[in-house]
Amino acid sequence: MRVSGAKFMLRTTPELQKSFAALHRKGYNKSFIAGLFDATRQTVHRWCKRAFHQGRESFRDKPREPKEGKITQTVELTILHLRILFEWGTDR
């Protein structure tokens, strides 16, 4: 589906991802594969790279939930309090 010259896909299926990698292994370039499936070259590049580095596991979806922060809210508030108290930061 194209919108004003831009290419986009809602979601690539594992079968489509495997096709990207298989065609690239056979020697087809990424631009040709992208045109064949009406995907972006960047999408094809991403899936070929994941297939090369991770093997069969690469076609599973990665978790999409946000990662937990490394510092707690208490620590963050303490840092902000100290910055205000001692006027740390850049002089402007």
How do the domains of the chain map onto residue ranges?
7-61
pLDDT digits (tens, 9 = 90+) for 44-71: 998 888 888 766 666 677 777 888 888 9
Give the three-state DSSP class for 92.
coil
Cα gap 10→20, rounded to integer Å: 16
pLDDT digits (tens, 9 = 90+) for 39-48: 999 999 988 8
pLDDT digits (tens, 9 = 90+) for 67-91: 888 899 999 999 999 988 887 767 6
**Mean pLDDT of the chain, nearest integer:** 81
Whether the predicted pLDDT of 31 surpasses 90: yes
Distances (CA, A) of 19 to 11, 22, 56, 74, 92: 14, 5, 13, 49, 55
Predicted TM-score (pTM) of this structure: 0.52
